[in-house]
Amino acid sequence: MNDVTLFHGECLRLLRKIPDASVQLVITSPPYNVGKEYERLVTIEDYLKLQRAVIDECVRITRPGGSICWQVGNHVNGHGQMIPLDILLHPLFVAYASTDELRLRNRVVWHFEHGLHCKNRFSGRHETILWYSKGDEYVFNLDAVRVPQKYPGKLAYKGDRRGQYSCNPLGKNPGDVWIIPNVKNNHVEKTSHPCQFPIEIPERLILALTNEGDLVVDPFLGVGTVAVAAVLHGRRAAGADIKREYLSIARQRVSAAASGHLKRRPFGQPVYQPKPNTPLTISPFKSRTQSATLFDQRPVNVHC
């Protein structure tokens, strides 16, 4: 396996070439079966059949102590009914609990604040990442992904450490709700792919679940975001996609990452907050002196 392998074709053809127990981490975001340009719309039964075949191979190639991360959203059927894909796919992984010791370690919620504005239901603003370890002893480099403490100057008020700083100086555990902007039209990482996820998603997983030199595999490579994140941190990468256009973009992005010229949103950068009292943040639909809003606190008389 080369340092980076970008394979054109069905992912099963690539996965079947990879030796048993040779991969430290599988990260992917499979098609959601919603009719995007890179997928063929099929029945839910056929969709799960394909996912089962891919998961079978991913479990086989993942080594003990390695991990599998499946990032998914929702399938929406012809009735406008939302079907959470993590609920459908989890049983496919659970089937390996006894034979391959596959364990669900986290169901991470990725929250973003922009997207499709729905009219007949609440707009979707999150997706999920199912993280499974292979075995009970696994790589987890928490220090590599810690985030700033909310109260870094807080002191312990009792016990042996009274008067000392109570937090970890490297930061806190990022938790299982990740607030990271999604890749929309004005995002620095945007390519022609309609459903591209930000580099920071696989980057955080790669830093936490692998070590330098490890192999990271993405069965549904797209424009190579997982491969880019792997290269940025000295990991090897392999992935497949059926669209040559996407693979061409992936090669360009991987080359840019390797040479230090990749345009990307900085890792760990806080979500942008616009300045208050500017034309962008002041509503033009009401007077500035108008005080009555839905959230006004008015006295309420309660009679018992």
pTM of the predicted structure, to 2 decimals: 0.88
pLDDT tens sequence across 166-216: 888 999 999 999 999 888 888 888 988 878 899 999 999 999 999 999 999
Pairing, β 126-134 against β 177-179: unpaired
Check residue 94 and give its pLDDT: 94
When pLDDT is averaged across residues 274-293 and rounded to a whole number, the result is 73
pLDDT in tens, 53-104: 999 999 999 999 999 999 998 888 777 788 899 999 999 999 999 888 999 9
Domains with residue ranges and CATH for the chain: 4-259 (3.40.50.150)
On the question of pLDDT at 300 being above 70, the answer is no
> What local confidence, expressed as pLDDT, does residue 212 receive?
97
H or E stretch at 60 = helix 44-61
Q: Are 213 and 232 in contact (CB under 8 A)?
A: no
Output the pLDDT for position 279. 84
Question: What is the predicted pLDDT for the residue at 90?
Answer: 96
DSSP structure string for 100-158: S-EEEEEEEEEE-S-S---SSSPPP-EEEEEEEEESSS----GGGG-B--SSTT-B--S
For the chain, give the mean pLDDT. 89
Q: Provide the percentage of residues in the chain whose pLDDT is more than 90.
A: 60
Question: Residue 12 is which amino acid?
Answer: L
- Rounded Cα gap, residues 180 and 201, in angstroms: 8
